[in-house]
Structure 1
Amino acid sequence: MDVEELLWAGADAQAAALRDGSVSAVGLTEAVLRRLDQVNPVLNAFRISYADAARDAAKAAQQRIDAGERTPLLGVPVAVKDDLDVAGDVTGMGGRPQFPPAERDSPVVARLRAAGAVIVGHTRVPDRCLWPFTETLTHGATRNPWGLDHTPGGSSGGSAAAIAAGIVGVATGSDGGGSVRVPAGACGVFGLKTTRGLIPSGDDEEHWHGLSVIGPLGRKVADAAAMLDVVADLRAALGEGDTGTYRAAADADPGSLRIALSWRTPLGKPIIEAQRKRATLETADRLRALGHTVEETDPPLGAAPLPQFLVRYFRGVSDDLATLPHPEWVETRTRRIAAVGRRIPDGTLARTRAAESELDSRMRAFFADYDVILQPGWTGRQPRVGRYHGRGMSTTFAGVSMGIPYFPTWNVLGYPGAAVPVGFDSLGLPIGVQLVGPAFAERRLLSLAGQYERAHPWAGHRPAMA
């Protein structure tokens, strides 16, 4: 396969090509850097690229390949969201850097390096990773490769855009209320919000009081699975007792699963754009055709996850800003969120965290009857760039909440959720759905998503800008 075509094949296929010698790590990295230079001025997906360091890493990776070493991402170029420390670079978090360049890599970046992955740059995020769009007063807007007037989502918007545009096949993301699943759905790539505790986060293992976790985004299911094999904690990865690799799970037959099609959120049943509702129903029919049972039913949670999320989100943002040497540098609406969070007493936060166990008990009973939950992704079209430019906290928060109500519940409970591309709307923008499982059911979700992908592949589609 031509190296330029290999950019669109995904990280797992790139790893296979590196193993069989049909491409070199240096040649693949050079192709990635050329593509990055070509499209990033339009997309604004990367804050910075590490061209020289990537070339050095590619040479070292090729030596390991030539010596017979094998890892899931050896020699494969990857992108890192700008919320993880990369040694020698600042971590921008969407605004003016608050701290000096990092002296060491974050645990995830260190694991990627140890596995021989070639880190090519830091990808864009919204201010402090707060929003489901990637646009800041400091750095401007990141754009969706499928429609440059539209957002790629957020907060992992730069990572999703970089994959959708054929720059890299896999990238890191993080998800505190949908921030992996939202941009994956917006850009037509696969994303996996992982179980709380599966991937080490470093010094802040309870970021936003347990809401936020790290997760991979990939062009295909196998790409995210390969990254998970590199970065997941081995003990936590045992999950349901299965010691197989995540990459193997992506190819495995999931068996006949009991799937709950759920329309209700903590905000009730939201208004869903007709073509996105049809896409969800069609996905249910496709899953039935694959041998699964799909029934319309809702988890027994009601509105309870809403205050759980709000308390932890607002207080989490407040605690985050309290660590900054220059909180005045962040956007006004970010400071307003922090001001609300400062009013939440420690006792209220403690009671909120304690109440999670009761919700978990309800869901354990629900998952005794169902294996997976199917839900819509975005309720409407991806917002246009600039829609929330200069807007205040209340307007922005209210506006985005109506578009993504299906995501935050699973951050409250710490459960895994997969964003799966299922089609395109009338403007050619991607449509996605969400698959949710119980804690540490990543292999189950990867198997189901992989089966769906084989029957209804999405990676062959390319945006017009390609």
Structure 2
Amino acid sequence: MDATTLALAGAAEQARLIRAKEVSSREVVEATLARIAQLDPTLNAFRVVLVERALVEAQQADGRAGAGDASRPLLGVPVAIKDDVDVAGEATAWGTAAHAGPVAQDAEAVRRLRAAGAVIVGKTLVPELTMLPATDTTTFGSTRNPWDLSRTPGGSSGGSAAAMAAGLAGVALGSDGAGSIRTPSAWTGLFGLKPTRDRVPVAPHDDAWQGLSVNGPLARRVADAALFLDATIDGGGFADAAAREPRPLRVAVSTKAMPGALPFLGNEEKRAVHATGELLRSLGHEVVERDPDYPKSLYPAGLVRVLRGVGDDVGAAMPHPERLETRTRRVAAIGAALPAGLVRWARQAEAVQTAQLLRLWDDVDVLVTPCAANGPYRAGAVGRWGTPQYLARGAERLSWMPAWNVTGQPAAAVPAGLDDDGLPVGVQLVGRHGDDALLVSLSAQVETAQPWIGRRPGGIA
């Protein structure tokens, strides 16, 4: 197997090859590092690449494989980590020069990935304080979308998305506080899952964005994300879920957005939702058109939590706030100044909002909606937004995603074809609390029926 094919194989196949001793971890990691060296100067997906450490970890993985250790699902597989998550010995930069420098310990999710045998190849770029729906920074530049280098891969897990779309890791860790895994996945042709809240650990960044943010995988195949979930979620079983078809499900299809979002839904994105509904019907599922009952308080309460979350993160993790972008300083100041009573209202509103939204699941098993309202922005464009533009436009293409951060339900981005510009379009699948494995099974069924892996990004061809 040549180096390019090996790098593009994805976590599940890489793990199988290493376990079968058909290749070594060192070969897989060297192929991945060579591809990063070739493509990342153009893509700017990584904030830092851990070349020497990764090679040492690969050698250690080969030692374990040689000793017959078959208990680690990601043994020897190269994994990329979003740069809002701690990796011991490295700075958690958050897309800025205002950070506190190297950290002493891995975040709990990284610790679990290492325990599963993962080789950490680097930390992927994020917009400053993970605020933007595009990965544009003053300090580190803009990340480019492998499908079209003039476009962003999205944000805030844009570096992870670009890395995965280009085959620069077997699987990547992202975080999602209002669509930050799902939007970049949709815009780069990936499967991305925002798991049920509290299933993948976020420690030490507990209660991130006032409880909205969770960690999860971005992957080129569902099976690759399943291995990530097996490594990070107690109980596992996700690889098995990806390998089996789900039972016949009741599926609701909706293009209604929550009040206050006022999105413009592109024609290709709307067609993708309805085409996915028809595909699911052809696979034996019962499909109906049914809208969630979105509470009117959802958008304002969510915005309060995001703004206070940014303020919290600046106060807790940015010892050099004078180095922040002007927009970030102003947004953080707004968040920090919000009255305690308003923040308390936003948090307490969650119970009523969740109960109202969950009524849909009395009648259905899965909801299908758009992911992003339209295609990706031009690279660098969102980075030029001022504070008023950010406040007015930050969620304009994310309108179907933040609701499920508020409720804590699992939600996946699934590739659903290409738009008229030849760029990926994704749809969102939302399940009940704890039904992450069901979403994995359903997404894998869609992938089998309508494979997406053969489509290669044109920007790096």
TM category, shorter: over 0.9
* Match in the other structure for 1:149: 150
Tell me if 1:136 matches 2:128.
no
Q: For residue 415 of structure 2, give the secondary structure of its aligned residue in structure 1.
A: strand
Shift of 1:204: 2.6
Shift of 1:375: 0.4
Shift of 1:419: 0.4
Shift of 1:67: 1.1
CA contact (8 A) 1:91 1:97 kept: no
* Match in the other structure for 2:243: 251
Q: 1:451 and 1:309, CA in 2 relative to 1: closer, same or farther beyond 3 A?
A: same
* Match in the other structure for 1:337: 331
CA contact (8 A) 2:93 2:101 kept: no
The code of the aligned residue for 1:38 comes to: Q
Tell me if 1:375 matches 2:376.
no
CA contact (8 A) 2:176 2:194 kept: yes
1:417 pairs with one of 411, 420, 423:
411
Q: For residue 85 of structure 1, give the secondary structure of its aligned residue in structure 2.
A: coil
Indicate the larger mover: 453-462 or 3-12.
3-12
Shift of 1:390: 2.6
* Match in the other structure for 1:61: 61
Indicate the larger mover: 84-93 or 172-181.
84-93
Shift of 1:68: 1.2
The code of the aligned residue for 2:66 comes to: D
Shift of 1:362: 2.3
The code of the aligned residue for 1:345 comes to: P
* Match in the other structure for 1:460: 454
Shift of 1:271: 2.4
What pairs with 1:157-196 in structure 2 (closer than 5 Å)?
A: 157-196=158-197
Shift of 1:318: 1.2
The Cα RMSD (Å) is: 1.4
Q: For residue 208 of structure 1, give the secondary structure of its aligned residue in structure 2.
A: helix
* Match in the other structure for 2:277: 284
CA contact (8 A) 2:308 2:336 kept: yes
* Match in the other structure for 1:18: 18
Residue-by-residue CA offset, 1:189-240 (whole Å, 9 max, x unaligned): 11000111111111232011101110111110111110011112x2xx5xxx
* Match in the other structure for 2:29: 29
CA contact (8 A) 1:95 1:128 kept: yes
Q: For residue 209 of structure 2, give the secondary structure of its aligned residue in structure 1.
A: coil
Shift of 1:28: 0.7
Indicate the larger mover: 346-355 or 112-121.
346-355
CA contact (8 A) 2:414 2:427 kept: yes
Q: For residue 247 of structure 2, give the secondary structure of its aligned residue in structure 1.
A: coil
* Match in the other structure for 1:240: none
Shift of 1:400: 3.6
* Match in the other structure for 1:119: 120
CA distance in 1, matches of 2:3, 2:20: 14
CA contact (8 A) 2:98 2:323 kept: no
CA distance in 1, matches of 2:280, 2:261: 25
Structure 2 residues without counterparts, runs of 5 or longer? none
Shift of 1:402: 1.7
Q: For residue 8 of structure 2, give the secondary structure of its aligned residue in structure 1.
A: coil
Residue-by-residue CA offset, 1:362-405 (whole Å, 9 max, x unaligned): 23332121101100111111111122233201213323422111
CA distance in 1, matches of 2:337, 2:43: 38
Shift of 1:6: 2.3
CA contact (8 A) 1:189 1:420 kept: yes
Tell me if 1:78 matches 2:83.
no
* Match in the other structure for 2:297: 304
* Match in the other structure for 2:254: 262
Shift of 1:29: 0.6
Q: 1:269 and 1:367, CA in 2 relative to 1: closer, same or farther beyond 3 A?
A: farther
* Match in the other structure for 1:229: 230
CA contact (8 A) 2:134 2:383 kept: no
* Match in the other structure for 2:381: 387
CA contact (8 A) 2:189 2:425 kept: yes
Indicate the larger mover: 262-271 or 377-386.
262-271
CA distance in 1, matches of 2:305, 2:311: 10
* Match in the other structure for 1:44: 44
Shift of 1:97: 4.8
Q: For residue 60 of structure 1, give the secondary structure of its aligned residue in structure 2.
A: helix
Q: For residue 270 of structure 2, give the secondary structure of its aligned residue in structure 1.
A: helix
Residue-by-residue CA offset, 1:221-268 (whole Å, 9 max, x unaligned): 111110011112x2xx5xxxxxx6011111121111111112222236
Number of residues paired by the alignment?
Answer: 457
* Match in the other structure for 1:428: 422
CA distance in 1, matches of 2:343, 2:381: 33
CA contact (8 A) 1:264 1:270 kept: no
CA contact (8 A) 2:130 2:155 kept: yes
Q: For residue 69 of structure 1, give the secondary structure of its aligned residue in structure 2.
A: coil
CA contact (8 A) 1:308 1:412 kept: no
CA contact (8 A) 2:261 2:395 kept: no
CA contact (8 A) 2:261 2:299 kept: no
CA contact (8 A) 2:177 2:214 kept: yes
CA distance in 2, matches of 1:440, 1:285: 26
Q: For residue 12 of structure 2, give the secondary structure of its aligned residue in structure 1.
A: helix
CA contact (8 A) 2:295 2:353 kept: no
* Match in the other structure for 2:349: 355
CA contact (8 A) 2:302 2:346 kept: no
Shift of 1:317: 1.0
Shift of 1:139: 0.9
* Match in the other structure for 1:274: 267
TM-score (norm 1): 0.95
Percentage of pairs with the same residue: 47
* Match in the other structure for 2:105: 104
The code of the aligned residue for 1:189 comes to: L
Structure 1 residues without counterparts, runs of 5 or longer? 238-243
CA distance in 1, matches of 2:321, 2:5: 44
CA contact (8 A) 1:3 1:23 kept: no
CA distance in 2, matches of 1:184, 1:112: 21
TM-score (norm 2): 0.96
CA contact (8 A) 2:98 2:319 kept: no
